[in-house]
């Protein structure tokens, strides 16, 4: 049996589990459970089981597939990728100190900047912190525009 589970997308919104002839829910679902509990996306786990004459029963199959998937994940090299948002902020030169204070406190990555009468900065920050940064930049006198992107 070649049982598997996979999750795709930055948030794992596309997924599948397959029992490959094992009793329903005894193989693919426990493997998928390991992907979920380890918060893994953009990955596939395949567990191959050869029948050796001993019947494991439903609880035994679930445990065997779950533990095999857990061991494979523990032995794997995990590459962490984050979902970042790119933010452009425009602001008048007189707002520079307040904008820079917000940037220093939130620590986004500065991609590009132009300081003139109307200043512009292009920043990236983790999606989970982006709304807070946008709010701080607006309170400091900036106008913003952002869109989500995946970064590695």
For 18-47, write each residue's pLDDT tens digit.
999 999 999 999 999 999 999 999 999 999
CA 118-122-123 angle, 5° bins = 135
**CB atoms closer than 10 angstroms to residue 71:** 12
Residues 26 and 66 in one domain: yes
pLDDT tier at 100, thresholds 50, 70, 90: very high
First to last CA, the chain: 34
At 9, which CATH number? 3.30.230.30
Domain end: 75, 93, 124, which one?
75
Pick the closest to residue 2 from 16, 21, 29, 26 (CA basis).
Answer: 21
> The pTM is what?
0.66
Range of the domain at 70: 2-75
Q: What is the structure's pLDDT at 54?
A: 82
41, β-bridge pairs: none
CA 93-97-100 angle, 5° bins = 100
């Amino acid at each position: 049996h070649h049982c598997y589970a996979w999750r795709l997308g930055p948030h794992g919104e596309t997924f599948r589990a397959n029992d490959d002839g094992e009793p329903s829910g005894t193989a693919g679902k426990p493997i998928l459970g390991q992907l979920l509990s380890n918060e893994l996306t953009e990955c596939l786990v395949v567990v191959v089981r050869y029948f050796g004459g001993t019947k494991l029963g439903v609880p035994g199959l679930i445990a065997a597939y779950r533990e095999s998937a857990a061991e494979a994940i523990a032995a794997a090299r995990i590459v962490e990728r984050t979902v970042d948002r790119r933010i452009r902020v425009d602001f008048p030169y007189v707002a520079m100190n307040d904008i820079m204070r917000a940037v220093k406190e939130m620590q986004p990555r500065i991609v590009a900047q132009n300081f003139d009468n109307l200043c512009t900065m292009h920043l990236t920050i983790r999606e989970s912190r982006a709304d807070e940064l946008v709010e701080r930049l607006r309170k400091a006198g900036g106008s913003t525009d952002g869109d989500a992107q995946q970064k590695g």
